[in-house]
Chains A and B, each alone.
Chain A
């Protein structure tokens, strides 16, 4: 019953099961959580926006499909897409294996990071949320 979901201390989370991590150069990395990949099960396709397009906080930017269902992916912050993880597009299973590192989805240049960080969840709050969701 009590399935284990990894929730790391460092990134910030959204209630829509995405994470965002600030990198040393001021860019941010975005991905889906361990809980999200486990809920989806075997991921077979990922759809992401183009480099140069804009994402907005809590707006859908892409989707992740498993054998049984499709989930929209919500952006934790607003900004311009600088990089797209081509590897997960080719090999979506990476998202199941390593959602927090190799399975990142986007690198984004944030537009209003300080302001938007306030809207995100820390690790404890996210843990509490998935406790509710998962059962």
Chain B
């Protein structure tokens, strides 16, 4: 029986378009259906435009450093609209790039909204039916709304709204101190917005260790970002043109936060509700599509990857899952199986945060035998010379075998230098291998070498 394609992919984000190209490489006929813009959230309303904003924010912040040399900087002509437009250009250029890549690899592309109408077929909004030997669901996620703070795009913003602001408010309250909240706090504060961050957990970046988060919190406080951790909010009132949010802190104290805009970034909801899953008997668990280790749903011809499954919502993980799924469809077994302990994560604040594997908190909770080696950025020559002393490298390792269990780096360039440790872990190298490798001086990577030497008992610059 003939199908229109070997794999019919719903969604063209980092999961969908990468899966399409990988499928084509494996000789499969792939077809991608996208209802919005090619590239998905990552390129259009996520990773990419935020990085464009962050780069410009950091340029703007660096003016203060230049001023220390006596130069007078006139900021009066500053227009946030121009910052916004630059971020859109980056998105549009990369979105077009994805279209080009799909075309170049012979991956079919259809603009439209598709719903599953059978184990091997979807129906488009215009009634057309497309068939595929396999379906790959990669429909992604959207900002999650919380009760009491329904998005309206004016007062209550989602990350989507915040990315499309063309002018900045005087004050912004950010609800949610995870990666997205912290990155927006960084950008908004850099451009002069009075920022308050309210986080329900005890510290910002709740997935990181408290000592890692503390370095970011300290840097934020220095920049006069107001932090409220252990904070509960239930709603807001409009009062004389201002927004007032009652907050209850852990110790029971209550206060009112007054602001102009509220950005709610407490998580992302899977786009699974209007997919036709019920037509083929797929039942979501807390919004996520259940899959096996090959990303197959209960319907063997239908796979799901990326933000709609229960794994961490990261673009690079989505891509890796997309690749693994189509490799399995092609009968190639797990050529690049995804190991959850080898998935890096990054937060693009100043200082940056990056990590993979077990945090110390994870290791403790799992009852693992572990040890920790820390090396502070302020003991690294490059960090001192460039004024980037806020930071540390933390290695979590097995004290008996010296196997690396995880790493957490906070500091300048953390999201880049983490990969040395990750490659070591992936290759089964131990702390002695990093400790004994000559690292160029002066570099921030030396801090990684020193932390590894700490595990080996011969840290030099301690």
Question: Which residues does A use to contact B, with CB under 8 Å?
Answer: 47, 49-50, 53, 56, 60-63, 65, 67-70, 72
Contact = CB atoms under 8 A, between A and B. Distances in A.
A65 B218 CA distance: 11
Nearest to B390: A70
Contacts of B389: 65
Given A56-B253, A63-B222, A68-B378, 17 more contacts: A47-B218, A49-B224, A50-B224, A53-B226, A60-B217, A60-B218, A61-B221, A62-B221, A63-B218, A63-B221, A67-B378, A69-B376, A70-B215, A70-B218, A70-B378, A72-B214, A72-B218
Contacts of A68: 376, 378-379
Interface string B198-232: 00000000000000001101100110101000000
Contacts of B379: 68
B131 to A, nearest CB: 60
Nearest to A67: B378
Interface in B389-443: 389-390
Nearest to B253: A56
A47 B215 CA distance: 13
Interface in B316-346: none
21 contacts: A47-B218, A49-B221, A49-B224, A56-B253, A60-B218, A60-B221, A61-B221, A62-B221, A63-B221, A65-B378, A65-B389, A67-B378, A68-B379, A69-B376, A69-B378, A70-B215, A70-B218, A70-B378, A70-B390, A72-B214, A72-B218
A47 B223 CA distance: 9
B221 to A, nearest CB: 7
B110 to A, nearest CB: 54
Contacts of A47: 218, 221-222
Nearest to A62: B221
Contacts of A70: 215, 218, 378, 390
A47 B218 CA distance: 9
B199 to A, nearest CB: 14
User: Taking each of B217, B253, B378, which has the highest tally of chain A beta carbons within 10 Å of its own beta carbon?
Assistant: B378
Contacts of A49: 221, 224
Contacts of A63: 218, 221-222
Contacts of A60: 217-218, 221
The 10 lowest CB-CB distance pairs between A and B, nearest first, are: A47-B222, A63-B218, A70-B218, A50-B224, A72-B218, A68-B378, A69-B376, A47-B221, A60-B221, A67-B378
B209 to A, nearest CB: 15
A92 to B, nearest CB: 14
Nearest to A66: B378
Contacts of A65: 378, 389
A72 B214 CA distance: 9
A67 B380 CA distance: 11
A67 B376 CA distance: 10
B236 to A, nearest CB: 20
A68 B215 CA distance: 14
User: Which of A56, A62, A70 is most buried by chain B, counting CB atoms within 10 A of its CB?
Assistant: A70
Contacts of A53: 226
Contacts of B218: 47, 60, 63, 70, 72
Contacts of B214: 72
Interface string B220-262: 0110101000000000000000000000000001000000000
Q: Which of B222, B253, B376, B390 has the most CB of A within 10 A?
A: B222
Contacts of B224: 49-50
Interface in B361-402: 376, 378-379, 389-390
B64 to A, nearest CB: 14
A100 to B, nearest CB: 24
B43 to A, nearest CB: 37
B31 to A, nearest CB: 54
A61 B379 CA distance: 25
Nearest to A69: B376
B369 to A, nearest CB: 27
A14 B22 CA distance: 60
Nearest to B226: A53
Interface in B288-335: none
A72 B222 CA distance: 11
